[in-house]
Amino acid sequence: MSEAARTAALPFVGWARIWSPLAPRELRAEAWEALGLPGSFAEVEPEYWATFHVGSPRPDVPLLLHAALGLEGGHAREEWMRVLHFLGLRWQEARLPPDHLAPGCEALAAAIDRDDEVLVAELCARYLLPWCERAREGIGENARAMGDLAARFEADLRALRESPPGA
């Protein structure tokens, strides 16, 4: 693993904290600041929870990748379990479904850190960039800050694809 790969992976660890409903508020706020996102997390927290975590029957933009992308859940979870196993990632005490965007970002960071350009490209193409497209469609005009958040995540993914750390 190169220093460039480690540096490129670090933002996606931050994104995992942003997207995880299990991350303590303080860690999410630290990640917000480290990623250079505008304002503070506290300023947009209610809009964040309403957009990505709370909704009836589901949030505007689900963070469960199979739900957001209209995929069969069992197959998506199984595919992500294989990715996590391949990368040697293990669950700690708190668990999210393997096809949740937060563990997806952790898996992406691990793949970047390992200089696995093929896995990075596949995760982006199959799941992460399509989720960004769904986010653009699902975020209402009155949730502008969340649209900006999803756009920044997409920009980070696209920058990674255009300039992989091992290239």
Q: What is the predicted pLDDT for the residue at 4?
A: 79
CATH number for the segment(s) 3-162: 1.10.3480
**How many Å separate Cα 42 from the centre of its chain?**
19
Q: What is the predicted pLDDT for the residue at 90?
A: 80
Q: What is the predicted pLDDT for the residue at 74?
A: 93
Q: Could you tell me the pTM of the whole model?
A: 0.92
Nearest 5 degrees, angle CA 80-CA 30-CA 63? 30
Query: In a structure prediction context, what are the per-residue pLDDT tens digits for the chain, which is 167 residues long?
Result: 678 788 889 999 999 999 999 999 999 999 999 999 988 999 999 999 989 988 777 888 999 999 999 999 999 999 999 999 999 988 665 588 999 999 999 999 999 999 999 999 999 999 999 999 999 999 977 678 899 999 999 999 999 888 766 65
Q: List the domain boundaries for the chain.
A: 3-162
Nearest 5 degrees, angle CA 140-CA 144-CA 146? 85
**How many Å separate Cα 9 from the centre of its chain?**
12
Cα→Cα distances 163→1, 15, 79, 84, Å: 16, 19, 26, 24
At residue 28, the 3 state secondary structure works out as helix
